[in-house]
Amino acid sequence: MDFGGPGPVLFALHGHFGEAESGPWWPVGPGSQDPRLTVDDKEQRSVRFSVVELDGGMLAGTATLWGIDTHNRVAHIGLGLRPGFRGKGYGTDVVAVLCHYAFVVRGLRRLQIETLADNAPMLRSAERNGFVREGVLRSSAWVLGEVLDEVLLGLLAQDWEPARGR
């Protein structure tokens, strides 16, 4: 996987910002200044990556380190893969790279993931990288007219094993 800045191909990523976002989904058109699709080098609270397949260079999805708190040295991980790229182990690889970036490059001490309780692929990707389930946020997500639970997972820098997710 390659992680580059967002590009025009993100506009073709239909349906990606649905379950991964806390607000309702609506289409984003070309030329939009939507902050999810632009790079702001001054922004210190989030870092967005494009996930690009090494063989063929196709956009596989997006990955984000968000809610970066430099005082407490904590952040959240988010990722979304296009349907054709799911089930191939990319999620595990993306989480591993985000952990490396957060712990080694940024010097953070804790990462957190919140995901829907029925998102088995994300739960597997997180746990393969050493994340521990810390709790359930009951009825915390409104998704397509339904209230769902979310699972809270955490990983501390001292518990991280770089090659674990591979």
Q: How far is Cα 130 from Cα 145, in angstroms, rounded to an integer?
A: 33
pLDDT for the residue 56: 87
Mean pLDDT of the chain: 83
Kindly report, residue by residue over 72-83, the tens digit of the pLDDT: 999 999 999 999
Q: How far is CA 97 from the centre of its chain?
A: 11
Kindly report, residue by residue over 5-60, the tens digit of the pLDDT: 444 444 444 344 444 555 655 555 666 666 555 555 565 799 999 999 988 889 99
Closest by CA position to 19, among listed 154, 153, 165, 148: 148
Answer whether residue 122 shows pLDDT above 90.
yes
pLDDT for the residue 17: 42
> 166: which residues sit within 8 A by CB, 6+ positions away?
92, 93, 96
pLDDT for the residue 95: 97
Kindly report, residue by residue over 100-111, the tens digit of the pLDDT: 999 999 999 999
pLDDT for the residue 162: 87
CA distances in angstroms from 80 to 69, 98, 114, 160, listed in the order given: 22, 13, 13, 22
**The pair of three-digit structure tokens given for residue 120, joined into one six-digit string:** 């088995």
Looking at the chain, the whole-number percentage of residues with pLDDT higher than 70 is 72
Q: How far is Cα 101 from Cα 138, in angstroms, rounded to an integer?
A: 30
